[in-house]
Amino acid sequence: MDKRLTDTLKIIIVLLFAQFISACSSASKPLATATLHPSNTADINSYKYLIGAGDVLNIFVWRNPEVSGSFIVRPDGMITTSLVEDIAVSGKTPTELAREIENILSTYLRDPVVTVTVNNFVGPFSEQIRVIGEAAQPQAISYTQHMTLLDVMIQVGGLTEFANGNDAVLVRIENGQQKQYEIMIDELLKDGKISANVDMLPGDIIIIPEAWF
């Protein structure tokens, strides 16, 4: 084989190997760690519903039916109306949104009066309660004011036969810090111990481990 051809093949092989190593190196980079976004609710009595993706908003503009209607909140947290293409709505209360829309519409209408109501409550992720592990139906649940641990466990169908409910953990963000609390689900569900029924807050995470036999 011609020496120049051999040298060319060697160079090509070296370049291909370098690209392979580079690709492997890029693929092995760790993914960014997800951040838990805390809820704004620190007390069950101060809870106010926040709009989230998937909610259906009924926006009524007094004396202006042409700009009123029902709007689905998009996954990016926005809605599109007949006058304004993109209005950010996620994370706001219906009242806050009504006042903001009034301000936006004042450019087109004289003294608009807006009312916002919500259907198909979903809410933002930061407001949902997540139950993972040995629940019969692990899932994310939309928070309702004064919801308790018992309410949550009813919604997820209770525990599996392999669950260790008394070793379950509640993860909550408080003052920007992640804290963990022991919760006694077996005592609540199996023994009927009402003292084990605790208040839930938006954004809580319940982790139910498997029992060791």
Residue 64 amino acid letter: N
Domains of the chain as residue ranges with CATH: 51-119 (3.30.1950.10), 125-208 (3.10.560.10)
Q: What is the pLDDT of residues 1-32, one digit of tens each?
A: 555 545 555 555 555 555 655 655 555 667 77
In terms of C-beta distances under 8 Å and separation of at least 24 residues, what long-range contacts does 98-107 make, across chains too?
A: 101/59, 101/61, 105/61, 105/64, 105/67
Contact between residue 156 and residue 138 where contact means Cβ atoms under 8 Å apart: yes
Give the number of C-alpha atoms closer than 13 A to the C-alpha of residue 194, restricted to the C-beta side.
0
Q: Region 139-168: what's the mean pLDDT?
A: 97
172 close to 204: Cβ distance less than 8 angstroms = yes
Tens digits of residue pLDDT in 113-130: 999 999 989 999 999 999
Strands of 69-72's sheet in order across: 69-72, 56-61, 114-119
Q: Report pTM.
A: 0.79
